[in-house]
Chains A and B, each alone.
Chain A
Amino acid sequence: MQIIINYKQMKKLIYLSISFMFFFGCADLDLQPTDMIAEEAVKKDPQLVEAFLTKIYANAVFEPNEEGSIPKQDRLTDAVVGGEYTLMAPWQNGIKASYNIPTASGAHSRLTRWHYGNIRSCNEIIEILNNATFDAATVKIQIAEAKFLRAWMYLDMAKRYGGMPLELTAKSVDAPAEELMIPRNTLKETYDQIISDLDAAIADLPGVVIYGKASKWAAFALKSRAALYAARIAKYHPQSSNGLTSIPAGDAGAYYAKALQAAKAVIDGGKHPLYKGGANMVDRFGEIFYKDQNSEIIFAEQYNLSLGKTHTWSGYGMPDGFKAGWGSNMHMYLASDARFEHADGSPGDKHHAKFNNKVWFDIEEVIYTKDPRYLATLFTPEEVFQGREVWFHNTSVGSGTLKGRAGNVVPNRAPPRNRNRGGRLVQKRIDPQYEFPVFGTDETPYIVLRTGEMYLNGAEAAFESGNAAQAKAMINNLRARVGMPAKNTITLDLIKNERFVELYAENHRYWDLRTWKDAVSELHLVTKYGSKWTRRKSDGKYKASKWKWNFSQNTPFLEKMYWLPYGTNRLAQNPNLVENPGY
Chain B
Amino acid sequence: MQGSSSWNNLKLRMSYGVMGNDGVSNFDYLTGYNISSGFYLFNGQPYPIISSAGLANRLISWETMKIANIGLDGTLWDGGLGFELDVFYRLREDILALPDSDIPFHFGASLPRTNLNSRDNRGFDLMLKHKGKIGNLSYSINPMVSYSRGKFVKWEENILPTVGVDEATALANAEYNRRYVLTGNWDDRQWGYETNGFFTKQADIDNHPVDIDGAGNATMIVGNLIKVDQNGDNLIDWRDQVVIGQGGLPKWNYSTNMSFKLKNWSLDMLWQGATGYSITFGGSSGPWSHSGHQSVAKVFAFENRSTLAANGDIDILRKFPPVFTTGGAPEIDNTASDFNRVDAMYVRLKTINLAYNLNKSFTDRLGLDSVQLYVAASNILTFDNLGVYSGFYDPEIVSGTAGGGVDRAYPNNKTVTTGIRIGF
Contact = CB atoms under 8 A, between A and B. Distances in A.
**Residue among B100, B158, B221 with the most chain A CB within 10 A?**
B158
B8 interface: no
A180 B111 CA distance: 13
A137 B247 CA distance: 59
Nearest to A307: B46
A36 B33 contact: yes
Nearest to A49: B50
A13 B41 CA distance: 16
Given A103-B238, A121-B52, A554-B221, A57 B40 contact: yes
A255 B136 CA distance: 100
Nearest to A171: B107
B308 interface: no
Interface stretch (B23-31, B68-76, B369-377): B23-31
A36 B53 contact: yes
B3 interface: no
B44 A38 contact: no
Interface string B342-381: 0000000000000000000000000000000000000000
A37 B26 CA distance: 15
A85 interface: no
A525 B221 CA distance: 12
Interface in A2-39: 3-4, 7, 9-10, 13, 17, 32-33, 35-39
Contacts of B30: 32-33, 36
Contacts of B293: 89, 91
B104 A36 contact: no
Nearest to A292: B44
Given A91-B284, A303-B41, A568 B238 contact: yes
A572 interface: yes
Nearest to A445: B41
**Residue among B27, B49, B51, B112 with the most chain A CB within 10 A?**
B49
Nearest to B289: A91
Interface in A299-331: 301-304, 307, 309
A116 B110 CA distance: 10
A104 B175 CA distance: 13
A182 B180 CA distance: 23
Contact of A180 (B42, B45, B104, B286): B104
A387 interface: no
B413 interface: no
B219 A525 contact: yes
Interface in B36-86: 36-53, 55
Interface stretch (B120-128, B210-218, B254-262, B398-406): B210-218
- Chain B residues touching A, range: 35 or more
Given A101-B215, A116-B107, A119-B108, A10 B48 contact: yes
Interface in A135-170: 164-165, 167, 170
Interface residues of A, number: 77
Contacts of B387: none
A520 to B, nearest CB: 11
A551 interface: yes
Nearest to B49: A55
Nearest to A572: B158
B207 interface: no
A101 B219 contact: yes
A99 B101 CA distance: 33
Nearest to B56: A39
Interface stretch (A208-216, A234-242, A333-341): A208-216
Contacts of B219: 99, 101, 525, 554, 556
Nearest to A209: B42
A120 interface: yes
Given A36-B33, A38-B32, A116-B107, A302 B41 contact: yes
B55 A173 contact: yes
Given A33-B26, A124-B52, A303-B41, 8 more contacts: A9-B45, A9-B48, A13-B35, A35-B35, A70-B287, A165-B104, A181-B104, A574-B105
